[in-house]
Amino acid sequence: MSGAISRQSAAAMRLRRATVDDALRLFSWRNDPVTRGASRDSRVIEWPDHLQWLKTVLADPAKQVLIAEIGGAPIGTVRLEERGEATEMSWIVAPGQRRAGLGKEMVRLATSQERRRLQAVIRADNLPSIAVARAAGLVLLHSDGDWLLFGSTSRDCPK
C-alpha cells in the first residue's frame, strides 16, 4: 500500500479476522520501534516465534486478532483476549498511517462490536494510546505509575 490514508476515509473502515497470510504485516507492525516501546515486552520478536504465536492465537477461541482495512488496504490491528470476565485489548496502527485519526476510529469500531467488559493496559507515557482509549469510551480504572489500566464500566458480561 502506498501513501497515508486520509482521516475522511476512516468512515469506510472495516474489521476482519486475521489469517496466517497477515503474518508478515503483523510482524513488521509489532517490531516497529514505537510499538516495541509501548509494549510490556519491548524485545525484537524473531520471525519463527511470531509465526508460532500467530498460529496458536488463530487456533484459540478465547483470542482474536482483527485487521482494520480501508478500501481493502490493511491499516492496523486490534488484538482481543478473554481474561476472566473481561476482554483485554491492544492495538497497533501501521507506522505509515499514524496521526490521521485511524487509531481512534479502529478502536471505537472494535469496542462497539464487543459485548464483554473491556480492558487495556497502557504505558502512562503513551499519550496517543490513552487518547485512543478515551475516544473509545474506556475510562481510567487503575494506575501503578508506569502502567495504566483502562476499561469499560457498563458492558453486559456473559454468565
Contacts to ligand COA by CB under 6 A: 34-35, 38, 90-93, 98-104, 120, 122, 126-129, 131-132
| 149, three cell numbers | 489500566
* Run of H or E residues at 86: strand 86-93
Provide the minimum distance between the beta carbon of 81 and ligand COA in the complex, in angstroms, as a whole number: 13
- 59 vs 96, beta carbon nearer ligand COA: 96
Give 82's Cβ-side CA count (13 Å radius): 11
**Position with the least CB separation from ligand COA:** 103
- 18 vs 104, beta carbon nearer ligand COA: 104
- 61 vs 151, beta carbon nearer ligand COA: 151
- 101 vs 151, beta carbon nearer ligand COA: 101
Burial 78-115 (b: 16+ CB within 10 A, else e): bbbeeeeebbbbbbbbbeebbebbbbbbbbebbbeeee
Provide the minimum distance between the beta carbon of 60 and ligand COA in the complex, in angstroms, as a whole number: 20
Provide the minimum distance between the beta carbon of 50 and ligand COA in the complex, in angstroms, as a whole number: 16
Provide the minimum distance between the beta carbon of 26 and ligand COA in the complex, in angstroms, as a whole number: 12
Cα separation, 22 vs 142, in Å, equals 34
CA 120 → CA 5, 18, 20, 30, 46, distances in Å?
26, 20, 25, 17, 25
Provide the minimum distance between the beta carbon of 1 and ligand COA in the complex, in angstroms, as a whole number: 15
- 13 vs 54, beta carbon nearer ligand COA: 13
